[in-house]
Every structure is written in C-alpha cells, then in structure tokens.
Amino acid sequence: MSLQDLYFTLLIGGTVLLASIAAARAAHRIGLPSLLLFLAVGIIAGEDVLGLEFDDAQVAQAMGTAALAVILIEGGLTTQWDDVRRLLLPAGILATAGVAVSVVVTAAGAHWLLGMEWQLALLLGAIVSSTDAAAVFAVLRALPLPQKVTGLLEAESGFNDAPTVILVLVFSTAIADLPDPAHIVGNVVYQLVVGAALGLLIGRVGAAGLRHIALPATGLYPLATVGFGIIAFAAAGAAGASGFIAAYLAGLVLGNTRLPHRAATRSFAEGAGWLAQIGLFVMLGLLVTPSALPAAIAPAIAVGGVLLLAARPVSVLACLLPFRVPWREQAFISWAGLRGAVPIVLATFPVVEGVDGARGLLNVVFVLVVLFTLIQGPALPAVARRLGLTRPGALREVQVETAPLDVLDADLLAVTVPPGSRLIGVAVFELRLPPPTVVTLLVRDGTTIVPRHDTVLRTGDELLLITTPKVREAAERRLRAIGRRGRLARWLGEHGHPGPTKPSR
C-alpha cells in the first residue's frame, strides 16, 4: 500500500467515524437506537450507493467477533456487581434454558410459516435468539428502571452470547444432520464452565496486579484493564471455551474492584465500546447488498413476529416462573429482548461455513434486526411507563476517582501516640507540620474520626498523615521533636533528628 492509499483510506475511515458520531447524536435526539443509523452509514457507503465494496464474510466474522468482545468487556466494566449478584441464577437460566426455548419456538415458526427445513430453521432460531449486549446497555441505562429489571436484562445479555454462538456453530457445521442433543449440552456446559472460570481467574489476577503495581502514567491503567479483558477472551477461545463469557466476567471482576483511576478506565472503556459498535455496525451495513433486502422483508416479519410475540414471552415465563417475578416485570423483560449486532455477526458463521441458503439467511436476519429494533427500541420508555416501572426520581451513580499515593507523588504516614509521649494533650493545629502535610484521619479506641484543627491527641491515638516526598523527612522530624519535648520543642532546641535524645535542661 502506498502512502497515498493510506491517506485515502484514513480519510474515508475518519469521515465514516465522524458521520457515525453525528448519527449517534441524531439518534439520541429523535429517540432511535443509534445502531440503526450506524447500519445506515454502512449501507450508504456500500456498493449500491457510494460504491465502497466489501463482501468478505470471513473478515466480517473475525472483526465482528473481536468487536463483540470489546463491547462485552465494556459492559462488564460498567455493570455494578450489587445490581446483578442476586440475579445471577435467573439471568443464567434465561441465558441458557431461555435461549433453548426461544430457539425451538422460533424454529417451529420458521418451519411452519415459511416452509424452512428443520436444520435451517434451527440455525435461524439460534442466530436470532440472543439479546444484544450493546443495544441493551445503551438503551436500558438511559431509562429510570428498577435495579432488578435492569440488572437482570444486562446480566442475561452478557451471558447469552456464549450459548447462542455454540448453537450456531453446531448447526452450521452439522447442517446435514441434526446433532446429538447430549453432544450439544456437553459442549455448552464445557464452554460455559471453562470460559467462566478463565474469565474470573484472569479478572482476579488483573485486579490484584493493578492494585499493587504503580504505572508511570494514568493512561496506562485503562489500557491494562481492557487488556486483561482481551486476554481472558483470547485465552478462553484458545482453550475451546467461550471467550464471550470470559470477557464479560473478567470485565465484571475488574470493574467492581477498587482499582486506581476507575473513572478514567470507565471513560476509556466506554469510548472503546462506542468505537467497536460504530465499526461493527458500519461493517455489517457494508456487508449486505441493499438491492437483495426487499425479498427478505416478509420472512423477517414472520420470524420476528414469532420471536417477539411467542418465543421471547414463553421463554421468559418458563424461566422466571420459579422466581416469582411480577408479571409487569416479566412483560417488560419480554419486550426488552433487543436484537442488534450479535445476530448479524452470527449470521456470517453459516456463510463462512458454506451452508446452503446462508446468504438469504443473512438478509433475513439483517432486516429482522432493523425492523424490530425500530419497533421495540423507541417503544421501551412508553412500555415501561404503561407497566408502572419507571422511577422518575432516579439518580445517576456518583463516580469517585482513586489513585495510588505514589502516582500522586504523595506518602502516607502512620503515627501512634505511645504512653508517656509529649504528643499527648497537643492539638492538631499545634503540630505545625510542614505544608502540604495534613492529618487526614484519627483512629481512637477503634473508631475512625476526621480530626478538626482543635482535636487534642490522646494516648493510643493512631494518626494517618498525607505528605509529599520532599517534606516527609521534615514532617517526621517535627513529630519526633514534639513527641520528645512537647509543643514548644523548637523553642527548647529540639529539632527531632534521629538518634539519642538530648537531655533536657
């Protein structure tokens, strides 16, 4: 590639990126999911409009899978553990048994309504049965919903990519004969268990490392955090397990650990997630041929109708019945099963495997996602209001930034007031510590208090002081001096140097 080709490619890429960002703003203002306009940018740039050709399903599959990994890492990093920990069991059942029920019901509808062969119908059911993490995270977090509902939907969307990928791969590679159900179950269990274990393990290793290692620049912490999520995804994939669940769980562990620069990490992850979404949807828009889409409208409406009105409600009812979830919440969860990039990426798998009719399947899935996102997404606020689930007074979480002391160029000093010390009876302001040294906390009789300037020190008090390396030695000398000679130590010639104490006069 020449430099001119590089400049031209970057010019197109930058233009598409800015157009997608403008589309995201426009989508937010008019109340549409941004993924629709991202897809529109890709279609406009494609061969039927502006002439940019892209027809490589294998590249789309690889790039789409990588983008989904980044989106799931971002979803895990921004998911609050307190919101989902009590919902892991129902979310896990929705993501496994719910997917199975949805696949069977959708496949039955495609078989009886469209006359599809069972193998192809099951493949289609598996492709469209997964809710999309990017769509769910983007839409639901803007709505004032109960934590239980939002947490359940987020956890489900983070977990259910793994079983659907497994089913799509199984049905794509064994399209001639229906595979053995026991083989499918064993494969699903192995991929979920090993993927979850690797995700949790790598997430914990990353959290431990980032808590104890001071990096030379703030911007390295977000990179390292996302890097651990990518390692979890790749390691699980290399082990033949689910990289998607590993990436999500690694992000969940890292995002809920008290790591340095959490706000910066979340901002970086959010930007990476947006970039992954934009690239993914624009690429998928380029992949389809608009002139071939009208023929897919009728099948897409039929399959989407079965999915929205039958498969999703039946799977939600069957999976949540033992947990006594109120019917209003079940109804909303059924409606909020948004589809997005995941089904379209999954639809490239049978194309790569050379399955007969796979191209037509891709067009059906593309149209289904667009049409039913247009129906479901904008209606979510109204559905939530009609079901009485909105919380108008809901507040956004307050983000707190933390950083290790050496990154702040600061030192933490711990001082205990021993019996007989001349520090006893001295007020905090009388310490006259060299600036910017400050007494931040005082632990007295097991109780932590924030000292005031007139707080008087007592025997056994433990002081926590923040200082800087430049004045640390002077602060230590001042404390030693007062401990030896009291508040008038300097007047009495005591400067707190290490070594034997000079006798009093």
At residue 498 the predicted structure's pLDDT band, cuts being 50, 70 and 90, is: low
At 462, give phi and psi (nearest 5°): -110, 125
β-partners of residue 449 are: 442
Q: Which two tokens stand for residue 290?
A: 């608009």
DSSP-H helix ranges across 213-296: 220-238, 243-255, 262-287
Q: Which two tokens stand for residue 448?
A: 């932590």
Decide if 155 contacts 399 (C-beta within 8 A): no
Angle between helices 99-114 and 297-306 (to 10 degrees): 140
At residue 395 the predicted structure's pLDDT band, cuts being 50, 70 and 90, is: very low
Under DSSP, the state recorded for 398 is P
Query: Do the domain assignments include residue 263?
Result: yes
The reply to whether 379 and 418 lie within a common domain is no
pTM: 0.70
pLDDT in tens, 331-384: 998 988 878 778 888 888 888 888 888 888 888 988 998 888 888 878 888 888
- Over 60: is that where the pLDDT of 26 sits? yes
Query: Do the domain assignments include residue 210?
Result: yes
Query: Do the domain assignments include residue 491?
Result: no
Instruction: Give mean pLDDT, residues 299-311.
Output: 92
The reply to whether 308 and 416 lie within a common domain is no
Number of domains in the chain: 2
The three-point CA angle 208-160-242 to 5° equals 55
pLDDT in tens, 37-84: 788 888 887 766 776 777 778 888 888 888 888 888 888 888 778 777
Query: Do the domain assignments include residue 492?
Result: no
Q: Select from 343, 368, 385 the last residue of a domain.
A: 385
Query: Do the domain assignments include residue 399?
Result: no
Range(s) of the domain holding residue 456:
411-485
Query: Do the domain assignments include residue 64?
Result: yes
- Over 50: is that where the pLDDT of 23 sits? yes
At residue 31 the predicted structure's pLDDT band, cuts being 50, 70 and 90, is: low
DSSP-H helix ranges across 78-132: 81-84, 88-93, 99-114, 118-128
Identify the pLDDT of residue 305. Answer: 92
Query: Do the domain assignments include residue 499?
Result: no
- Whole-number Å distance between alpha carbons of 12 and 70: 23
Query: Do the domain assignments include residue 397?
Result: no
pLDDT in tens, 430-461: 898 988 889 989 988 888 889 988 899 999 89
What percentage of the chain carries pLDDT values higher than 70? 89
- Whole-number Å distance between alpha carbons of 222 and 254: 11
β-partners of residue 442 are: 449, 463
Identify the pLDDT of residue 109. Answer: 92
The reply to whether 176 and 274 lie within a common domain is yes
Identify the pLDDT of residue 393. Answer: 46
CATH code, domain carrying 456: 3.30.70.1450
pLDDT in tens, 200-212: 999 999 998 888 8
Instruction: Give mean pLDDT, residues 107-129.
Output: 89
Task: Write down the mean pLDDT value for the chain.
Answer: 82
The reply to whether 435 and 306 lie within a common domain is no
Integer angstrom CA distances of residue 152 from 86, 172, 338? 9, 30, 14
CATH code, domain carrying 291: 1.20.1530.20
**CA-based nearest residue to 394, from 384, 404, 402, 405:** 384
Identify the pLDDT of residue 106. Answer: 93
Could you count the other beta carbons within 10 Å of the beta carbon of residue 370?
Answer: 23
The reply to whether 246 and 201 lie within a common domain is yes
The reply to whether 417 and 324 lie within a common domain is no
